[in-house]
Structure 1
Amino acid sequence: MKLTAAPQAPSTPTSAVKRSQAVSNEDIAAVFDDIADLLEIDDANPFRIRAYRVAARTLRALTVELAPLIARGETLPKLPGIGVDLAAKISEIASTGDCALRQRLRSTLPPGLVELLSIAGLGPKRIKHLYHGLGIETAQQLCEAAEQGHIRHVPGFGERLEARLLSAAQKGLGKDRRLPLGVVEPVALQLIEYLRQLPGVEDARLAGSLRRMRDTVGDIDILVAAAPAVVVTAHLIRHPEVSTILVKGRTRASVVLDSGLQVDVRVVKPADWGAALVYFTGSKAHNIAIRKQAREQGLKLNEYGVFKGQERLAGATEVSVYQALGLPWITPELREDRGEVAAALSGRLPKLVEVSDLKGDLHAHTCDADGANTLEQMALAAQQAGLEYLAITDHFLDSERLLKQIDQIDALNARLRGITLLKGVEVEILEDGSLGLPDAVLARLDLVVGAVHTHFNLTLRQQTQRLLRAMDHRYFTLLAHPLCRLINQRAPLNMDLSAVIRAASARGCCLELNAQPQRMDLFDLQCQYAKDQHVLISINSDAQRTADFAYLRYGVAQARRAWLEKGDVLNTRSLSALKSLLAATAGGRSQGAGN
């Protein structure tokens, strides 16, 4: 990661407004990430470091740009994890492009230290040791010290790590951007199976953000239970897709795959399995919260178990660890320190939605328009995936083709058994908020899925009004992929999503949680807000082909991270209940609205 030079402070109110309009939430989040990295290198309080990391993530989940609000003198909305101090820094960054804290931290540390974070295998703590132990401030100095054999003598490094760091620095291997969950998880599961094939391995599981099912993943963390004599790390580095070995020890290895993904494997004793799984699953914030719970009971919690003095009370299983703390087991998707510990203590943990709860999928495509398979092929694949109904929502550009498909669906339903096709469409929400098909055609459908595919660069007000007007339409059912983001390709729409969610609540519309790996749209925090506003979420695959129904599990994972239960999800309802709800929703909306 490279820090940008701090800009000069604006000299006039006008320049401040212009700068505020140019500073995005992503820019503010990047400054907070820089501050967190600098604080970690400086060995600051971990709670303080975490506060900036949490704030950065919250900012990236917003669809309302904060800088224009600040420029107009408006009060910032209440944001999770952002108190008065951080809110003031947001205003400072929005106005100047930087903040005094980051400038002060940068002035106390050599600028090259942060650039070392781009080298795989180096984190803030190791950089701190290299800096204080050898005076290393740049990648060039790192290479020189490694070539001269100096790094191996720094505590916690060694000869092998020295060689790996040299190789990584010379090859320019850096920390890749975060990749979609649905892209990384299949690779990780194959590695899990490979490790489980080694005799003596008692268990191997995902850890870290992958186990918590974050929508994007930076690297693959795997935990293995095996006796000390089992050569797990040697087995790992023999995997044919391992291209670079960063670290290899008896209980730990870090490698880079041919794809560029970094894999970190930890080996623990079976007796420590549960405690280690809790620790390495994280999140850091959740671990801090449960350690606090342990301290309040006079206990100690670490990666080896729960202890009372020298006596170990638990550690072999996750359940035993949580029970020793007076807590029920908390599912990994909830381990983000968003109130899960308090809910567990009071018996209020939600019964989260499961994949098996889904009765249907309300967004899918066929070869009649933008998909790869026929109506019947999609229907049978949905049935094979355990669904009872499937909405066909091709993105048609003309009414004639859609009317023809409606007749085809009626004919196919007459002979299908065990699966019902619903007649739908993914209709374009035009720039002015009107829908791209006439009412006479939309009236013949079971549901209408509205979506934005063009004019992504409207102002916040224009984009928000566009969506609100679309939802006013008498036949509008569901807003598809509301953010319109494509991970690592397109940023979320600049709109007031909270206003859209509140309008959906008032008008009886639903919002989609699109499970396509490149979308994962909405974010978990936004789904949680929709739940609070009594807006139903539809978890859909947006399937383009028969295999895509497998993506539904990623949507369910995102919903679970949002604390959604079965009743919060539209398509957990039976077909008859769904049809009743859709009819009531359409009937309750103004009959005067429309194109």
Structure 2
Amino acid sequence: MPVHNADLAAIFEEIADLLEIQGANPFRIRAYRNGARILGDLPHEVRLLVEQGEDLTRLPGIGVDLAGKINEIISTGRCSILERLHRELPPHISELLKIPGLGPKRVRVLYHDLDVQTIEQLRRAAKDGRIRSIPGFGEKTELNILRAVEAHANQSRRIKLAVAAQYAESICVFLRSIPGVQQVAVAGSFRRMRETVGDLDILVIASSGSRVMQSFTGYDEIATVYSVGDTRASVLLKCGLQVDLRVVGQHCYGAALHYFTGSREHGIAIRRIAQQRGLKVNEYGVYHGFRRVAGDSEESVYQAVGLAYIPPELREDRGEIEAARAGRLPHLVELSDLRGDLHAHTTASDGHDSLHDMALAAKEIGLEYLAITEHSRRLAVAHGLDSLQLARQCDEIDRLNEQLCGITLLKGIEVDILEDGGLDLPDSVLARLDIVIGAVHSGFDLPRAKQTKRILCAMDHPNFTLLAHPCGRLIERRAPYDVDMLSIIRHAGKRGCFLELNAHPERLDLLDIHCQMAKEEGVLVSINSDAHSVFDFHNLRYGVGQARRGWLEKKDVLNTRSLTDIRSLLRRTMSV
């Protein structure tokens, strides 16, 4: 069975979690967490490096010990340290970590103080009022835990888009290798670039007589075959992801791709329009009575019902049909439109690669400029910079820019927004920078009015340029903080500053609906990687997908501008 980077990252995260529950050495725990992040962010499969005999210690942050664990997992499918930890701890204790708001430290306290080992025991402890008695928890925390447990019970399993991509791309490579297969496409929420994916819908065009289903159901990563026929199969992968495969003919490929891409609401709306025209739309085509009038391409399906082609990312029944009917569909931003990245970290704070290496990696993917924005001093866990350290880095950037060709580094900082709305570094230091990114890294549970006032106050700072990851969410790990986003967007418009769309797959923040709001208010959005290594720039594609879901065009995105134009815009913001 192929071992994907997501599998390796998940194993290292689980090891770190279990070690933290045990109370192990913090440096050992951090090594596994860093390893998980590095593996999760790599754009190429580590197993291929192992098969080629590459030295894994050449990967940033991967030492001899972690390299040995990776080789063990890939070669045997097992991890001895994880198996040992499972023997030493209760069998279901890691399930508690799936409850939002419960990290390993809290799980450790609950386990040691209340002997809570399962989600059901956690629910009972919360209902009985026993959690509030633990120092550091309290009645409010207990109520939040109970609500999170109940929400978890009603939640269907979904995985992050970037993780789903690893499995989808591997399956597609496998399917294309089957004799007779002519075309493979992934439909569903994956094609619509939803931030999480519940299952994978895959369509295949194959020549008559090809053994697609027989080959597919023998795929190494399949745990269970739910059903299989001549043209359809439904399976469960060992990672827990369901995959539905359909073999379709070329003549109905467009109709099938449209039907299985969804969304459900969009499909219903299209079928309603078709009915008004005396037509019927299904997965096999568009019909007038018994006569088939369209379906070989998606364009033909939309044309048959009197609409322009609607990109998959817009198909959520949120105004796209009306826009298509009126000829007002946006020309959505493309990855190739990005000319720079305005949020990146190096080894000076919590990044994994040097200033020079980050610059070369950005140049290699075609970027013209890269803003280096380390964390500020208050975020000690990320080795944030103080005024003197930041000044030294600015000097280093100036020296490096004299040597670089084809890429320009901009001087910046990701400065903490304090609870009173102040910034974490003095004006005299911030004024020297090209860009100042303000970010909330603490106080996530402030009341809505106070959180909103805090951010608005920070945006009024004369050196403030860009609001980083504006909702503060981590997908499936931390909910967005409660804030009046419309007020923030409108204030950004009045102030003349910008909003970030953080492309990291765990963030994808701005939300798509907030991208639309920013577009309507004329506020430019910067699609940034928040890169912490040379491998992270590939995450920009997920940010572009989120921007497209938010109806953003090239003109709506700040970092589609040239270096000259971006410098002019940044100077104008910081001179307000």
Question: TM-score normalized by structure 1?
Answer: 0.68
8 Å contact from structure 2 (residues 346, 355) kept in 1: yes
Q: Which residue of the other structure, out of 287, 290, 300, is the alignment partner of 2:267?
A: 287
Q: What SS is found at the alignment partner of 2:371?
A: strand
Q: Which residue of the other structure, out of 146, 162, 168, is the alignment partner of 1:188?
A: 168
In 1, the alpha carbon distance for the partners of 2:283 and 2:557 equals 36
1:56 alignment partner in structure 2: none
Moved more, 552-561 or 263-272: 263-272
2:397 alignment partner in structure 1: 409
In 2, the alpha carbon distance for the partners of 1:380 and 1:511 equals 26
Q: State the identity as a percent.
A: 59
8 Å contact from structure 1 (residues 202, 270) kept in 2: no
Q: What SS is found at the alignment partner of 1:364?
A: coil
- Give 1:100-111 correspondences, 5 Å limit: none
Asked whether 1:572 is paired with 2:560, we answer yes
In 1, the alpha carbon distance for the partners of 2:281 and 2:221 equals 36
Q: What SS is found at the alignment partner of 2:356?
A: helix
Q: What SS is found at the alignment partner of 1:246?
A: strand
In 2, the alpha carbon distance for the partners of 1:311 and 1:491 equals 50
1:131 alignment partner in structure 2: none
The superposition leaves residues 340-395 of structure 1 with CA deviations (integer Å, 9 ceiling, x where unpaired) of 12211221111111111101000000011110000010001001111000000011
Q: What SS is found at the alignment partner of 2:523?
A: coil
2:515 alignment partner in structure 1: 527
Aligned-partner residue type, residue 496 of structure 1? D
Aligned-partner residue type, residue 365 of structure 1? H
1:464 alignment partner in structure 2: 452
1:105 alignment partner in structure 2: none
Q: 1:226, CA displacement in angstroms? A: 2.3
Q: 1:203, CA displacement in angstroms? A: 1.1
Aligned-partner residue type, residue 350 of structure 2? D
8 Å contact from structure 2 (residues 376, 424) kept in 1: no
Aligned-partner residue type, residue 200 of structure 2? I
- Give 1:154-193 correspondences, 5 Å limit: 177-193=157-173
1:450 alignment partner in structure 2: 438
Q: 1:310, CA displacement in angstroms? A: 1.5
The superposition leaves residues 282-311 of structure 1 with CA deviations (integer Å, 9 ceiling, x where unpaired) of 111111111122122221111111111211
2:177 alignment partner in structure 1: 197
In 1, the alpha carbon distance for the partners of 2:391 and 2:226 equals 59
Aligned-partner residue type, residue 255 of structure 2? A
In 2, the alpha carbon distance for the partners of 1:565 and 1:447 equals 23
Moved more, 450-459 or 242-251: 242-251
In 2, the alpha carbon distance for the partners of 1:328 and 1:495 equals 37
Q: Which residue of the other structure, out of 249, 273, 285, is the alignment partner of 2:229?
A: 249
Q: What SS is found at the alignment partner of 1:194?
A: helix
Aligned-partner residue type, residue 299 of structure 1? L
2:256 alignment partner in structure 1: 276
Q: What SS is found at the alignment partner of 2:162?
A: helix
In 1, the alpha carbon distance for the partners of 2:218 and 2:553 equals 43
Q: 1:175, CA displacement in angstroms? A: 8.2
In 1, the alpha carbon distance for the partners of 2:376 and 2:507 equals 21
2:420 alignment partner in structure 1: 432
1:488 alignment partner in structure 2: 476
Aligned-partner residue type, residue 309 of structure 1? G
8 Å contact from structure 2 (residues 206, 247) kept in 1: yes
Asked whether 1:350 is paired with 2:338, we answer no
1:368 alignment partner in structure 2: 348
8 Å contact from structure 1 (residues 176, 260) kept in 2: no
Aligned-partner residue type, residue 460 of structure 1? R
Asked whether 1:262 is paired with 2:242, we answer yes
Moved more, 200-209 or 537-546: 200-209
Q: 1:177, CA displacement in angstroms? A: 2.4
8 Å contact from structure 1 (residues 514, 539) kept in 2: yes
1:237 alignment partner in structure 2: 217
1:327 alignment partner in structure 2: 307
Q: What SS is found at the alignment partner of 2:515?
A: helix
Asked whether 1:554 is paired with 2:542, we answer yes
In 1, the alpha carbon distance for the partners of 2:285 and 2:387 equals 64
In 1, the alpha carbon distance for the partners of 2:302 and 2:482 equals 41
Moved more, 318-327 or 476-485: 318-327
Q: Which residue of the other structure, out of 354, 358, 365, is the alignment partner of 1:385?
A: 365
The alpha-carbon distance between structure 1 residues 546 and 328, as it changes in their structure 2 partners (threshold 3 A), is same
In 1, the alpha carbon distance for the partners of 2:177 and 2:306 equals 36
Q: Which residue of the other structure, out of 387, 391, 394, is the alignment partner of 2:374?
A: 394
Q: 1:186, CA displacement in angstroms? A: 2.2
1:543 alignment partner in structure 2: 531
8 Å contact from structure 2 (residues 279, 288) kept in 1: yes
2:137 alignment partner in structure 1: none
The superposition leaves residues 207-258 of structure 1 with CA deviations (integer Å, 9 ceiling, x where unpaired) of 1000011111111111112245333222112111111222222222121212
- Give 1:80-91 correspondences, 5 Å limit: none
Q: What SS is found at the alignment partner of 2:535?
A: helix
Q: What SS is found at the alignment partner of 2:458?
A: helix
Moved more, 185-194 or 243-252: 243-252
The alpha-carbon distance between structure 1 residues 337 and 528, as it changes in their structure 2 partners (threshold 3 A), is same
Aligned-partner residue type, residue 272 of structure 1? C
Moved more, 235-244 or 557-566: 235-244
8 Å contact from structure 2 (residues 464, 573) kept in 1: no
In 1, the alpha carbon distance for the partners of 2:208 and 2:202 equals 17
8 Å contact from structure 2 (residues 278, 288) kept in 1: yes
8 Å contact from structure 1 (residues 477, 582) kept in 2: yes
Moved more, 452-461 or 383-392: 452-461
Aligned-partner residue type, residue 235 of structure 2? V
Moved more, 309-318 or 474-483: 309-318
Q: 1:190, CA displacement in angstroms? A: 1.3
Asked whether 1:508 is paired with 2:496, we answer yes
Q: 1:176, CA displacement in angstroms? A: 5.3
Aligned-partner residue type, residue 199 of structure 1? P
Moved more, 578-587 or 436-445: 578-587
In 1, the alpha carbon distance for the partners of 2:346 and 2:167 equals 28
Provide the aligned length of Structure 1 versus Structure 2. Answer: 417
The superposition leaves residues 459-513 of structure 1 with CA deviations (integer Å, 9 ceiling, x where unpaired) of 1111111101100100000000011111111110111111111111111111110
In 2, the alpha carbon distance for the partners of 1:343 and 1:296 equals 18
In 2, the alpha carbon distance for the partners of 1:200 and 1:491 equals 46
1:317 alignment partner in structure 2: 297
In 2, the alpha carbon distance for the partners of 1:237 and 1:365 equals 44
Asked whether 1:475 is paired with 2:463, we answer yes
Aligned-partner residue type, residue 421 of structure 2? G
In 2, the alpha carbon distance for the partners of 1:193 and 1:351 equals 30
8 Å contact from structure 1 (residues 228, 269) kept in 2: no
Moved more, 472-481 or 452-461: 452-461
Unaligned runs of 5+ in 1: 1-114, 119-173, 589-595
8 Å contact from structure 1 (residues 323, 329) kept in 2: yes
The superposition leaves residues 1-20 of structure 1 with CA deviations (integer Å, 9 ceiling, x where unpaired) of xxxxxxxxxxxxxxxxxxxx
8 Å contact from structure 1 (residues 227, 270) kept in 2: no
In 2, the alpha carbon distance for the partners of 1:175 and 1:254 equals 22
In 2, the alpha carbon distance for the partners of 1:474 and 1:276 equals 53
Aligned-partner residue type, residue 207 of structure 1? A
Unaligned runs of 5+ in 2: 1-149, 378-385
The superposition leaves residues 142-166 of structure 1 with CA deviations (integer Å, 9 ceiling, x where unpaired) of xxxxxxxxxxxxxxxxxxxxxxxxx
